[in-house]
Structure 1
Amino acid sequence: MSRELTTASVPQEQQLAYWREAMSTQPVPTAVARPAGGPFAGRITTHQVGFLHVSSVEADAHRTSRTSGHIGRSRESFVMLGVQVSGTATLAQDGRRATVGPGGLMVYDTARPYFLDYPERFSTRVVRLPRRSLALPDDDLRRITATAIDTTQGYGAVLTPFLSTLVASAPSYSPAAAGRLASGVVDLFATLVAEQADGAGPGPQDSRGALVARIRDHIDGNLGDPALSPEAIAKAHHISVRYLHRLFQDEGITVGRLMLRRRLEECARELARGGRVAPTVSSVAQRWGFVNPAHFSRVFRGSYGISPREWRSLSAGGSRDSRQPLVAPERAR
């Protein structure tokens, strides 16, 4: 599917008004200002590549701005990746401003106001990613908008030519290839964001370490929910499952094993507590998110070396060393 928007067939005196009206009704509406009078010519050719929309844009000098009013009228948020082909562009967003020339890469988020200034005739290639397809932490994404991205090394050097080729060759892709390429763009961009976040260090509002800490707190607060899963955790923190697993690569434990270990620890702690009316093993298991008692007994024995009932009996009889921490051993880590 392709669409073309052009002033070529519009009377010269109406071209700027036509362009302004067209830009105000796009999926990402913006306002257009022209610094000087005279004729205006512009053309946008858009293709769909999987779940992405890619565009080649050529136009005379102008400035586009996206305000809170535009944002309020939009149904969906996008992340825009622009590769400058000719001319220069200045992007301002999130309190920063960056200027790029030919070969430069810029990133902006349509969920927040921005402006783009093109002081001369220009050509650019733009890839529009649905914000929901990225599921990146807002603070990591904010670090990369309106910044000077190095396109000579690192993932910037990989992503930029890939985007340029993707747009230029968009009509030739089969549906199956288009879907794979769209997923590739998401993976490459997410990796670029992670690279930039790692290099920038902790931001004013968040850091990877703080995000991991919040996720650990979330897991501890929801251990009793049988629906707790990597997918549910990622959704609660507005990140992708892929990014969630990447966050825990340096933690020495997977998210799934962390959930299992913490549930087993709480079960062991409760079973060891004893008292006049000891809870049943199955009730303890269900309280901490284990739906199947047989499965619970199997994983408990695999981690602690004895069954839950034996653990409770040893604790009640004082056979277990009270100084022993109630932590599942290495097999559950």
Structure 2
Amino acid sequence: MSSDPSTPEPARPLSATVYTTDAAPAHQRLAYWRAALSRTFAPVAISVPDEVCSGTIRTSRLGHLRVATVEGDPLWARRTPQLIAGGDGAYLAVKLLARGVAAFRQDAREVQLGPGEIVFLDMARPLRMEFPHPFQTKSLVVPRRLLGLEESDLRQLTATAIRPDTVSGSLLAPFLTQLVDNADTYPSATAEALARHVVDLLTVLVEERLHQEGRDAPSPARVMLARIQQFIDRHLADPDLTPEAIARANRISVRYLHKLFQAEDITVSRWIQRRRLQECRRELARREAAGRTIAAVARRWGFTSPAHFSRVFRNVYGMSPVEWRESAARAPRVPVLPSGVSAVPEVAASY
């Protein structure tokens, strides 16, 4: 235990890290609790009634993700611009409220949560959290880049509740609970495989949620954008898939094409590259594709230069295509997934 009780140390030497305010003198518990929460998620400012607080955090790694169970007394926490400027917060927290009530405010929205409900929170933008009664949460902390979401998509997701009576909630809540409760018991290879499939599941659920919102009131521009994105998907293998070719095939101007994608905070070329990378990444993870060379996979999805493909793959996913393929080959073939989930993409991100 550190000589400074305000600096959290694990309460006992387990594969999971446990922080508890019982480890600190009463007059230092607030500082200890703030430091423990900041280490687990991202730096936060907190306040508690009458400066009295108690709580416990149990946190574990799951591959390159992090899970945590937090329970404690009433609490108010904030991510301020000053704390965000420190740079330690490029994560998305998927938070299940297991006990108590809570309110979250982000991106000019505020949502009230009850037990069994889930919220997405972006730790890279200002955030306010309120727990007016004793509470327990179970959280999955995911590097933002792994979900491949644009800023406009993130802003649609944050501070909106996923209810347990929805398809997303009925799948995600029990799965998240099981993962958080058992993360420290999985062998390393199983944990890495689960982490990849967790990101797959989140990607599927997020895309379903975003598309559902888009279907509520589809504008002509959104309908056209969806049609063009489908066109791009059908022609990813064509190395001559350019904005000019896309505009010509869809009988619109190049200027209007760029305007459609500008509304999504992405360029046409970047969208094409992202989709090609996703397909290459998934193919490289498939055992039945082990006989294909990296260059062949890259060419199949429209990359004409293997060197360029390897460079952009590493820039986006943090490892080379060879390293990604080797990592996927070491993972167990059969992952643990929620009952009823039988068809999610094989791999959604690298670590």
Q: Do the structures match in fold with TM over 0.5?
A: yes
How do 1:72-87 and structure 2 match up within 5 A? Answer: 72-75=85-88, 77-87=90-100
1:160 corresponds in structure 2 to: 173
| Residues 192, 103 of structure 1: alpha-carbon distance in 2 compared, 3 angstrom cutoff | same
TM superposition shift of 1:141: 2.6
| Matched residue type, 1:6 | T
Question: 2:280, 2:127 → 1: CA distance?
Answer: 27
| Residues 75, 18 of structure 1: alpha-carbon distance in 2 compared, 3 angstrom cutoff | closer
1:20 corresponds in structure 2 to: 34
Q: Contact 1:63 / 1:117 at 8 angstroms: preserved in 2?
A: yes
How do 1:44-55 and structure 2 match up within 5 A? Answer: 44-55=57-68
| Residues 130, 148 of structure 1: alpha-carbon distance in 2 compared, 3 angstrom cutoff | same
| Residues 26, 85 of structure 1: alpha-carbon distance in 2 compared, 3 angstrom cutoff | closer
Q: Deviations over 1:196-215 (max 9, x none)?
A: 111111799x9585377589
| Matched residue type, 1:176 | A
Residue 52 (structure 2) aligned to one of 20, 32, 39: 39
TM superposition shift of 1:55: 0.5
Q: Contact 1:23 / 1:31 at 8 angstroms: preserved in 2?
A: no
| Residues 22, 159 of structure 1: alpha-carbon distance in 2 compared, 3 angstrom cutoff | closer
1:328 corresponds in structure 2 to: none
Question: Is 2:116 the counterpart of 1:103?
Answer: yes
Q: Contact 2:58 / 2:69 at 8 angstroms: preserved in 1?
A: yes
Q: Deviations over 1:174-201 (max 9, x none)?
A: 1121112111211111111111111111
1:197 corresponds in structure 2 to: 210
| Matched residue type, 2:32 | Y
Question: Is 2:242 the counterpart of 1:220?
Answer: yes
SS in 2 for 1:108: strand
TM superposition shift of 1:221: 4.7
Q: Deviations over 1:105-157 (max 9, x none)?
A: 11111121111100011011111011121112332232121112132231221
| Residues 82, 72 of structure 1: alpha-carbon distance in 2 compared, 3 angstrom cutoff | same
| Residues 28, 212 of structure 1: alpha-carbon distance in 2 compared, 3 angstrom cutoff | farther
Question: 1:187, 1:144 → 2: CA distance?
Answer: 17
Question: 1:170, 1:119 → 2: CA distance?
Answer: 29
How do 1:235-314 and structure 2 match up within 5 A? Answer: 241=278
| Matched residue type, 1:173 | Y
Question: 1:109, 1:239 → 2: CA distance?
Answer: 26
Question: Is 2:153 the counterpart of 1:140?
Answer: yes
Gaps (5+ residues) in structure 2? 1-14, 233-239, 246-268, 283-297, 307-351
Question: 1:135, 1:93 → 2: CA distance?
Answer: 20
| Residues 235, 89 of structure 1: alpha-carbon distance in 2 compared, 3 angstrom cutoff | farther
SS in 2 for 1:8: helix
Q: Contact 1:234 / 1:241 at 8 angstroms: preserved in 2?
A: no
Question: 1:159, 1:66 → 2: CA distance?
Answer: 25
Q: Contact 1:90 / 1:99 at 8 angstroms: preserved in 2?
A: yes
TM superposition shift of 1:18: 2.3
2:125 corresponds in structure 1 to: 112
Q: Contact 1:33 / 1:63 at 8 angstroms: preserved in 2?
A: yes
TM superposition shift of 1:242: 5.4
2:20 corresponds in structure 1 to: 6
Question: 2:126, 2:163 → 1: CA distance?
Answer: 24
| Matched residue type, 2:225 | A
Question: 1:9, 1:125 → 2: CA distance?
Answer: 22
TM superposition shift of 1:96: 0.8
TM superposition shift of 1:100: 1.1
Q: Contact 2:63 / 2:192 at 8 angstroms: preserved in 1?
A: yes
SS in 2 for 1:5: strand
**Alignment root-mean-square deviation, CA:** 3.6
- TM-score where L is the length of structure 1: 0.63
Higher gyration radius (CA): 1
| Matched residue type, 2:93 | M
Question: 2:218, 2:47 → 1: CA distance?
Answer: 34
SS in 1 for 2:22: coil
How many percent of aligned residue pairs carry the same amino acid?
Answer: 31
| Matched residue type, 2:60 | H
| Matched residue type, 2:63 | G
Q: Contact 1:136 / 1:240 at 8 angstroms: preserved in 2?
A: no
Counting matched residue pairs gives 244
Question: 1:138, 1:243 → 2: CA distance?
Answer: 24
Gaps (5+ residues) in structure 1? 224-231, 246-254, 261-288, 292-333
